Amino acid sequence: MGIAEGLGIEMPVLVHDCPHCPANNVSLKAVLIRQRDENNVTAHFICQICSKPIGAWFRRDANRAGVSYSSLVSFDGSFTDTGWVMEKMWPEKRNTEAPSNVPLPIARNFIQAEHAATAGHRESAGMTYRRVLELTIKDRFPTGKGSLARRIHDYAAAGGLTDAMKEWADTVREIGNETAHDTTEPSEEDIQDLAAFTRVMLEYLYTMPAKVAARTPTPPPGDAPP
C-alpha cells in the first residue's frame, strides 16, 4: 500500500536535479512510496523549488545492507542511505545542449531558449526560439532579403527546407512574433512544439550534413573522377 504525506509520516528525500526546472541537487520530497515486489518500489516526489511531481523506480541494492520496505516508507533521511538504488526517473531531464556542429551564436541562443523553456519562462523561450530560426536562415541563406517570412519562403523555394519544415518554420516565426507583441502567454504545448522543431531543424541543417561529410571517403591524392 502507499503512504501519503498527509498522514504526517516522515519519508525519505532524494537529492537530485529536478527534471522540470533548472534546480540542481535539490531535495525532492517523497509523498508516496509503493511496493512493486520484494526488491522494487516506485516513489512519487515533489520538487521543493517548482512543486511539480516526479516519479521514480528504485531497486534494492543486493550488495548493501539496506532498510526494508516497511522501514523505507517512514525513513527520515536521504534515499542514498536506504540501500535502494534509483533505476529510472520520470520525466527525464530535458536536454538543453545544442545539436553538434551548430555555429556558436546559434547554439548559444538555442541553449538560452532551452533554459527559458525549462524554467517555465515561455515568453522568453518563444522569442528566443524565433531568434534561433532567424539566425539560422541568415547563416544558411545569406543572400535572402526582406522579412523573415520572405526569407523562409525563398530559402524553401531554393531547396533549403522541405515543405513541412517551411510550415513549421512559419509556426516558430508566428508564435515568436505573437510572444513579442501580444500579452497572451504561449501555452506549454506551443513551447514544446517550438523546442522540438527547432532542434530538428538544427540537426537537419548542421548535424546531419556534418555526419554525412565525415563518412564520405576522401579519394587518394591524384585520383580524378572518371
Residue 57: domain span: 5-90
Mean pLDDT of 31-57: 90
pLDDT band at 199 (very low <50, low <70, confident <90, very high): very high
Region 200-206: mean pLDDT is 94
Statement to judge: residues 124 and 166 lie in one domain:
yes
Q: Is the pLDDT of residue 8 over 60?
A: no
Q: Establish if 226 belongs to a structural domain.
A: no
Phi and psi for 124 in degrees, rounded to 5?
Answer: -60, -40
Using a pLDDT cut of 90, give the percent of the chain over it: 44
Q: Does residue 121 share a domain with residue 53? A: no
Cα–Cα distance measured from residue 172 to residue 165, given in angstroms and rounded to the nearest whole number: 10
CA angle (205 as vertex; 125, 214 as ends), nearest 5: 130
Q: pLDDT band for position 95 (50/70/90)?
A: low
Domain shared by 60 and 110, yes or no: no
Domain check: are 38 and 9 in the same one? yes
Q: Is residue 139 part of a domain?
A: yes
